[in-house]
């Protein structure tokens, strides 16, 4: 059964493929007939305003919509500098993410949607305001309010990923957050020894099979091609057919 409720998507760091994994989950849930909404807590490194100038980065929600076809998307804050949300808000002089408003918005969406995906920025403990609030804090609040809101951890494939993943899982466990599994967000076409050995080691760290593995470059595919890759790259709990033992 595909997950319903609220699903946080967080990473072990920046650039690990959170947005592509979020798009993959959204694409499969939408294809299965679920009513899907996607919330981006804070977009950094993109100028505020509707229109992007030449050379501007593409907002994550724009990428998610292009790949998944899901248009029910919400960006709660945007900052021009490519920094942590707290630092980006401070440098720009813009107000930080309002966590009370974010929790209320997610709870509101959850009453009318089958699945609400909440994508963070960077890792699980990245700061969003001067008080040090993190996406882990937001997940804790929503779980305390009775919402089913586990966290899907997106990680890298190569050297360094074991430590980053272990620290992220330990931080989640310390906060009594339920995890929905670990997904490798960008699997190289020609994996080396480290990547191949990390597959088994990540399973050991997570104490469960990997929840998915998406090939590098998936974000450049057409929506149709991406849907096929998403189905092959995520487990049945996320709407796909991925099985590490048979596929890799």
- 118: β partners: 8, 39
Cα gap 175→181, rounded to integer Å: 16
CATH number of 5-240: 3.40.50.300
Cα gap 170→110, rounded to integer Å: 28
Computed over every residue of the chain, the mean pLDDT equals: 93
Q: What is the mean predicted confidence (pLDDT) over 67-88?
A: 96
Cα gap 122→41, rounded to integer Å: 11
Any idea which residues carry the catalytic annotation?
40
Q: Give residue 207's pLDDT.
A: 93
Q: Is the pLDDT of residue 93 over 90?
A: yes
Cα gap 36→4, rounded to integer Å: 9
Domain ranges of the chain: 5-240
Q: Encode pLDDT of 131-172 as tens digits.
A: 999 999 999 999 999 888 999 999 999 999 999 999 999 999
- pLDDT tier at 1 (50, 70, 90 boundaries)? low
Q: Give residue 49's pLDDT.
A: 64
């Amino acid at each position: 059964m595909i997950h319903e409720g609220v699903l946080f998507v967080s990473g072990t760091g920046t650039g690990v493929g959170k947005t592509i994994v979020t798009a993959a989950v959204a694409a499969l849930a939408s294809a299965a007939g679920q009513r899907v909404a996607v919330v981006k807590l804070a977009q950094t490194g993109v100028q505020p305003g509707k229109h992007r100038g030449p050379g501007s980065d593409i907002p994550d929600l724009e990428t998610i919509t292009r790949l998944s076809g899901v248009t029910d998307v919400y960006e709660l804050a945007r900052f021009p500098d490519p920094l942590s949300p707290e630092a980006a808000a401070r440098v720009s002089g813009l107000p930080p993410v309002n966590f009370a408003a974010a929790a209320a918005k997610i709870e509101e969406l959850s009453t009318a949607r089958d699945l609400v995906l909440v994508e963070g920025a960077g890792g699980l403990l990245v700061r969003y305001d001067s008080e040090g609030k993190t996406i882990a804090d937001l997940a804790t609040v929503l779980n305390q309010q009775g919402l089913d809101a586990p966290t899907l951890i997106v990680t890298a494939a190569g050297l360094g990923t074991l430590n980053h993943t272990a620290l992220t899982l330990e931080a989640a466990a310390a906060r009594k957050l339920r995890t929905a599994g670990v997904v490798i967000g960008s699997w190289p076409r020609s994996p080396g020894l480290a990547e191949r050995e990390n597959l088994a080691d990540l399973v050991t760290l997570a104490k469960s099979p990997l929840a998915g593995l998406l090939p590098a470059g998936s974000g450049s595919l057409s929506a149709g091609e991406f849907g096929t890759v998403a189905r092959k790259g995520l487990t049945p709990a996320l709407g796909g057919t991925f099985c590490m033992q048979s596929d890799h």
